[in-house]
Amino acid sequence: MPAGSLRRPAASTTSRPTSNTSVRKAAQFPPRPPSPSQTSWASESPSDALFFSMPAPYHPAMTDSAQFSPDRPFSCPRIVQWGECDPAGMVYTTQFLDYVMETLEAFWRDVIGFSFLRLHKELGYGSPTVSTKLDFQRALKGGEPFTVELRVEKLSRSTITYDFKGRNAAGEVCFTAAHISCIVDEKILKSVEIPERIRTPIETYRQATTA
């Protein structure tokens, strides 16, 4: 070997022992177990599984279809996050639309039986928004728990009219939303008649929650 050359030391084949402390620390943070409403859908698609693994503020709805009634509609509990607030610490106006859409997506997944992703991939349909109207009664502040309720007001040939109510922990209505969406065939990009496999669970739910 020429003078001044350095020989690279042979790589060690000895495995580095795993720290018991690291193992114990990892064991302290197990994955959050799925809720009953998650269990049947977590394996449907990678995107749905990712949706279920989202941390707070999203809280999957706890549903029992046998217990739906006019006084017990589908609902999603939530907690206002600081990043959703304006400088005064109150929920920023546009954030309320996110609350509405989160609840709508959970309703489709848990009650109708199709996430929007499955609706697109398996049936070739979409459910775009036709109109949304928001009204505000009380402020929601950072850290405040609240629940968004969903009812189906009307089901027509190709459109669905939803009614949303956001209630604080005292049960007071903080905001309402009237939301209309339709069913569109994505191949022709035109509204079509709602398929029976979608219409039936929606109509069943509408009747159960209508006084």
Structural domains of the chain, count: 1
Asked if the structure places residue 10 within a domain, the reply is no
CA distance 184 to 194: 9
On the question of pLDDT at 54 being above 50, the answer is no
Asked if the structure places residue 27 within a domain, the reply is no
Rounded to two decimals, what is the model's pTM? 0.70
pLDDT digits (tens, 9 = 90+) for 154-195: 999 999 999 999 999 999 999 999 999 999 999 999 999 999
pLDDT digits (tens, 9 = 90+) for 66-87: 679 999 999 999 999 999 999 9
Q: Which residues pair with 75 in a beta bridge?
A: 149
What's the burial of 52, exposed, middle or buried (CB within 10 Å: 0-12/13-18/19+)?
Answer: buried
Mean pLDDT for the chain? 79
Asked if the structure places residue 115 within a domain, the reply is yes
Asked if the structure places residue 28 within a domain, the reply is no
Q: How far is CA 48 from CA 14, 77, 115, 140, 190, in A?
A: 42, 19, 8, 29, 26
Domain that holds residue 61: 37-208
Find the CATH number of the domain harbouring 144: 3.10.129.10
Asked if the structure places residue 142 within a domain, the reply is yes
**Residue 150: per-residue pLDDT:** 98
CA distance 107 to 115: 9
Asked if the structure places residue 13 within a domain, the reply is no
Tokens linked to 135: 């009204």
Asked if the structure places residue 117 within a domain, the reply is yes
Asked if the structure places residue 188 within a domain, the reply is yes
pLDDT digits (tens, 9 = 90+) for 103-131: 999 999 999 988 999 999 988 999 999 99
